[in-house]
Amino acid sequence: MKTTIPSLIAVRAVRLIAKKALVVLVIAIGFLGSLMLMVSAANAQDARSATSMAALKDKTAKLGAPKIQGKEAVGGKSVPALYFGSTNMNNNFTVVDEVAKEGGPGLAASLFVKAGDEYIRVATSVLLPDGRRSVGAVLAAPALESIKAGKPYYGEVQVGLRYIANYEPIKDASGETIGAYFVGYKR
């Protein structure tokens, strides 16, 4: 079989184009992959917060199943009373203080209750500059959208200071979201 110069040039040209196409494809896949990693990293659970979230959920679960029962004043607002078993969590700081202390310096813990379209902080270790508890505060974006959808939120938030935070929904026996857990540490 005899090959001619034009056919060799054509074969080399096809191979060169194929190599360039492969390089472009590899770069495109790498770019898309890195974008996906950045998006997932924004909602990736931090190990320290994950440990504290597990502690908060464990301590509340030991009290009993979550439920709403009646109303109570919290931070100057009348909100549903959040219970775990027979323990009213509104203005009850025992569990959140234990979790914050166990989590180490800069860690904060809170419980929110669903009040209409809002989620109100009813128990917290977060202190205001004057030393009062930051109860009555309203859960804000971006965590709010995740909790409303019944999904956790992991990321950075502004709660007076910047926190690396975990928010997870509190669901009652029927699976309805009735509140939210929060743990986070100062950035």
Q: What is the CATH number of the domain that holds 150?
A: 3.30.450.20
User: Global pTM?
Assistant: 0.76
What domain count does the chain have?
Answer: 2
Q: Are residues 156 and 88 in the same domain?
A: yes
| Residues 77 and 156 placed together within one structural domain of the fold | yes
The per-residue pLDDT for 47 is 80
Same domain flag for 107 and 19: no
- Between the CA atoms of 19, 21, 24 and 25, what dihedral angle is there, to the nearest 10 degrees? -110
If you search the block for the tokens 């202390």, which residue do you land on?
101
Give the model's pLDDT for residue 122. Answer: 98
d(CA 30, CA 181): 36
Pair 159, 180: CB distance under 8 Å: no
Q: Are residues 2 and 93 in the same domain?
A: no
Spatial distance between the Cα atoms of 18 and 2, rounded to a whole number of angstroms: 24
Omega of the bond leading into 6 within 30 degrees of 0 (cis): no
Q: What is the pLDDT of residue 25?
A: 52
Its domain, for residue 143, covers 47-186
Q: Are residues 57 and 108 in the same domain?
A: yes
My answer on whether 158 and 174 are in the same domain is: yes
Residues 36, 53, single domain; the answer is no
Whether residue 20 is found in the same domain as residue 54 = no
Neighbours of 166 (CB within 10 A): 27
Instruction: Let me know whether 138 and 175 are in one domain.
Output: yes
Query: What confidence score (pLDDT) does residue 41 get?
Result: 40
Q: Which residues of the chain have pLDDT under 70?
A: 1-14, 16, 18, 21-45, 159-160
